[in-house]
Each structure stands twice: as structure tokens, then as C-alpha cells.
Chain A
Amino acid sequence: MNNQFSFSRVLLLLRKNLKENGKSYLLMFTAGFGIILLIYALLIVAGLHSMFPSGDRKMLFTIGLFLGGTLFSASFYSFFKSQPKTIQFLLLPATTGEKLLIGFILTQIVYIIVFLISFTSIDWFMCTIYNEFVSIPKWIIEQEKHYYKAVYLFNSDTVLIKQILVMYFITTSIAHLGSLSFINNAYVKTVILFILTVVTLIFFNNKILGLMIPEPIMPYGKYFTETFRIGSIQQPTGIVTLPKLWYSTIVWFLPIFIYLSCWTMSYLKIKEKQI
């Protein structure tokens, strides 16, 4: 048997995973779909005499994507609670990369596709109902009537889809790593650790940079990626702006670094897993 990466083995693993966990996935999907449908329906019913709740819709979309995605990722290896299932997983003749790829496909690709299709369908349905039944009050002037017309989510130009997707990939990769790192209460432990890490980073970012770069040339409270101020805060003598390319590179460097680190650590966690 080939010890190198095999795509056919990945397909076999994927089929095995879906066969064994298909019912759980279906239940999770039904519950998530039902909750979103119910909340969206309540928002629409409550708003048939008022403006379309586009802000609430954005919130529902974001919470559904993040909460569902991170919960799914953080519970992906919940079977590690069972020693026999862990033994079966670890001794199944497939490479670590192949086993990891199943987690990647399901948490990073399948979930988001299923969520986007589901949410878009619910959104289409709810927007259609709203447009059909909304009653615009008589005192609304012509220029404001467009607030009473539901625009489908993906025709809307207010959704920051790129930023949301980047955040989704990062948070779910952290949740996936948390699932491999903690056997019990993986989600809660990962969230606590994540919050502590972020707070510590922000704190040290200001503190350490404050020590490295003294007050006269360091704009406290500003991120070092933006600018360097020369002179005191009351009377600056100049501002050094970072090159635009450098600025955009730094902005992308951090998410890519976190993302790749999480998946590399996940690989090593599976590779080094002992029971």
C-alpha cells in the first residue's frame, strides 16, 4: 500500500465519514436551518409594516456562519472522547494528511457551501414574502420607499463578504485545532483561550511597542502598521507613512500566518496523537 498521499484514499475516507456521521450532519443542518428560518420569519412577520430588517439579516448571516462553523469545527474530533473510536481513527490505514484533509474539506469547504446555499434560499424566500406582503405607510415619501423593498442578500452591496470569509476561515481553523487539542468541552476551552490570547496580544502590542519605540515617535493607541509619528503628540514634526505595498502585505500576512499555522499544528496534533 502506498505511503504517499492518495486521492482515492481521501475519497474512501470521505465516504466513510459521511456514512458514519451523515445522520449527525443532517440533524445539525436541520437544526441550524430551522433556527435561521424561524428567526428570519419572526423578523419578517414583525417588520411587514416597517422597513426591511437588513441590519438584522446581516447579523443573522454572520452569527449563523461563525457560530455554526466554529461549533461544527470544534466538535469535529469529539469522538476522541471514545478510546475505541480514537484507536480506529489512528490505526486506519491512511496517511495523516489524508485524514486531516477530510476535516479541511468538511469544515472549510462543505460547511460554507451548504450554509451559503441554505441562507440564500431562506433569504430569497423571505425577501419574496416581504415584497409581496409589505404595506408601506402613507406618510413615507417617495425617496424613502426603497427601504421598503427587500433586496436579496447577494445583490446587496453592504455585505462585507471578503472580510467575513477571511474571518470565517481563521476562526474555524482555530476551532478545528481546538477540537484536536481538547478532548472535553473543546469549544468553550478554545473560545476562552482565544479571548485570552487576543487580549494578551493587544496588551503586549501596545506595551512592547511602547518600550521599543519611545513616545516622541510612537503614536500610542495606533497600530504600528499604519504610520510613525515623529515628535510629541502635542506638536508632531512629521509623519512617516509606510509604503502602500508593505501595508497591504502586513494586513494579509497575519491572517495567512494564523491560518497556515493552525492547519500545520492540526497536522502535527494528529501525527503525534497518542492514546
Chain B
Amino acid sequence: MIQFNNVSFGYSKQKLLYANINLELRAGSVYGLLGKNGAGKSTLLKLMAGLVYPQQGKLSVFDADPTKRDPSFMHEVFFIPEEIDTPSIHVLDFGAEHMPFYPKFNNDQFLHYLKEFDIPMTNLNTMSFGQKKKVWIAMGMASNASLIILDEPTNGLDIPSKRMLRKLIATVLNEDTCIIISTHQVKDLDSLIDKIILVDEGEIIVNTDTESITEKLVFKLSPNISTTDQYLYYETSLAGHLIVKERSLEDEATKLDLELFFNAGINNKNGIKQLFN
């Protein structure tokens, strides 16, 4: 579905943010794009949507060139940015004005999602940031686009709305759809994400599925740190030591701790890369 072949990009030609990256994303999955602040998560999303253009290499999305921004490409892509700005019109008008541009837009779904999100039927101008964001999310999901990109979708959402978002994403996902979520708040969406892309300092550290992670790694809470064991990463908490280590034959599978995996990936880049690439 999305193919990066030796893609390089930078906001200036002298300083590249990404150099010769290769990445493949497939339909039917929810991708979690993780990385520190300024790691280039939003830039990667913008490259996929055709909002910034690669300086080198080839990038194709549904076998199309996103930089051409053809209508046939754009009606298959819905981008929900981190910051939200809406015109001062009624929420139903907002949906009605966008509907004709997305051939698969389902107005009944849109109304249903608005109801589920408990959105008041008023002018967008009178809504809070969180409510506006939910309107955008509802519209994105109702567009039935094949590629839905969400940049920090849980920012500004209350706890019931985060739950609702998870439910909505699970509802719209099918084998032809690819959902990419960039987030700092991994705990909000870790139950939903089935593929992880970890980026840091302009490189893709990991692009793998959650099953592979739990197959290869063990996440444990241990009261002690053994000097003989080889840990990929550990950190100390009030309850003890949180450990990430390579899974051996004797180890039982453990539940994926996305936050711990993220920290392991950032702090022991080479160890994680060797294991997954």
C-alpha cells in the first residue's frame, strides 16, 4: 500500500531529516508511529499524504505519486492533524460541504459517530478543542478513505472519548484500510495497534508487528537486576525494575509493554535493530 524506496527528506537541503529510508506499510493494519519529540513522526505522515515532497527516492501510495495530489489519490486519504482549526459553520454543514469530495463518505455513519462522541448539533465555533477534534475524527472515519492518518489523535480528548476512538478505529478497520497513528501517549492506543514503526534521529529503528515483538522480547518486572543476565534495556520504578530482554526458549510469552519497548528502542537502538531487521 505504501512504499518508501530510498527516500530522503529534509526541510533544508543541507540537513536531511530522513536519509535513504525504506519502509513498507500494508493494508488491514493499525500502525503505531512512535518517536521522541522532533524525531520526524509528523514529517513521515506528511510525506505519505503528499504534504511534503521527498528530495530523493521513490514514494508510492496506492501505486500513485502523492506529490501529484490527484483527486483520485486524495479521496482515499484522510489526514487528521494534531492541531484543529475549523470554520465557523454548523457541524452538519461542515460534513455536508466535505461529503461530495469523498465518494465513499457515509453521512449516516458521520451522524452516528457524532452521536457516539456526544457532539452537540451547533456551530463549530462554539465547540471546545476536544469536540472539534472529535468532529474531524468522525468525518475522517465516515469518509471511508483507505488511508486514515491520525497525528496525536488522543491529545485533547477526555477518557470516554479515547475509549470511543479506540472503538471507532476497530469498527472502520478492514482488509483494505490502513490506519496510521502517530502518538506520544502509547498507553491510550496500545490495545489497538498491531504494527509498530519506531523512528529516531531520522532513521526507522523498527517496523514490525506486535506479535513479533512478543515472540522475540520479554517484558518483566523484577525486584533485582542480575549481573549475569543480558538485558536489552531496564529502568527502575517504585515497584521494582522493568526489564526488556531477548526471549529465550524457556521464557514464557509476556504482554507487550509498548512504553517499555519504546524506551528500549530509543536507548538501545542497535540492540533492537539487530533483533528486528
Contacts and interface: CB of A to CB of B under 8 A. Distances in A.
Question: Do A and B belong to a common assembly?
Answer: yes
A105 to B, nearest CB: 17
A19 B71 contact: no
Interface in A21-80: 21, 23
A1 to B, nearest CB: 5
A87 B51 CA distance: 7
B79 to A, nearest CB: 6
A85 B100 CA distance: 18
Interface in A6-25: 9, 12, 15-16, 19-21, 23
Given A1-B75, A3-B70, A15 B97 contact: yes
A274 B51 contact: yes
Contacts of B97: 12, 15-16, 19-20
Interface residues of A, number: 26
A122 B53 CA distance: 50
B57 interface: no
Nearest to A6: B71
B101 A93 contact: yes
B52 interface: yes
Given A20-B89, A84-B81, A93 B71 contact: yes
B46 interface: yes
- Interface of B, secondary structure class, is loop
Interface string B40-61: 0000001001111100000000
A3 B72 CA distance: 6
Contacts of A96: 69
A94 interface: yes
B169 interface: no
A93 B74 contact: yes
Contacts of A240: none
A96 B74 CA distance: 12
Interface of B: 46, 49-53, 69-72, 74-75, 77-79, 81, 83-85, 87-89, 93, 97-98, 100-103
A206 interface: no
B100 A19 contact: no
Interface string A250-275: 00000000000000000000010011
A156 interface: no
A12 B52 CA distance: 26
Given A1-B103, A12-B101, A82 B85 contact: yes
A110 to B, nearest CB: 19
Contacts of B98: 16, 92
Nearest to B100: A12
Contacts of B102: 93
Contacts of B83: 83-84
B161 to A, nearest CB: 18
24 contacts: A1-B71, A1-B75, A2-B72, A3-B71, A16-B97, A19-B87, A19-B93, A20-B87, A20-B89, A84-B83, A87-B49, A87-B51, A87-B79, A87-B81, A91-B50, A91-B77, A91-B78, A91-B79, A92-B98, A93-B75, A93-B102, A94-B101, A274-B51, A274-B52
A20 B89 CA distance: 6
A120 interface: no
A90 interface: yes
A94 B97 CA distance: 13
A95 interface: yes
A85 to B, nearest CB: 5
A266 to B, nearest CB: 16
Nearest to B136: A84
A110 B53 CA distance: 34
A271 B49 CA distance: 14
Nearest to A86: B51
A275 to B, nearest CB: 5
A273 to B, nearest CB: 9
B74 A92 contact: yes
Contacts of B52: 274-275
Contacts of A91: 49-51, 69, 74, 77-79
Given A1-B72, A1-B75, A87-B81, 11 more contacts: A12-B100, A19-B97, A20-B89, A20-B97, A84-B81, A90-B50, A90-B51, A91-B74, A95-B71, A96-B69, A274-B52
A2 B84 CA distance: 29
Given A3-B70, A275-B52, A92 B101 contact: yes
Contacts of A93: 71-72, 74-75, 101-102
Contacts of B87: 19-21
Nearest to A96: B69
Contacts of B51: 87, 90-91, 274-275
A119 B87 CA distance: 30
Contacts of A19: 87, 89, 93, 97
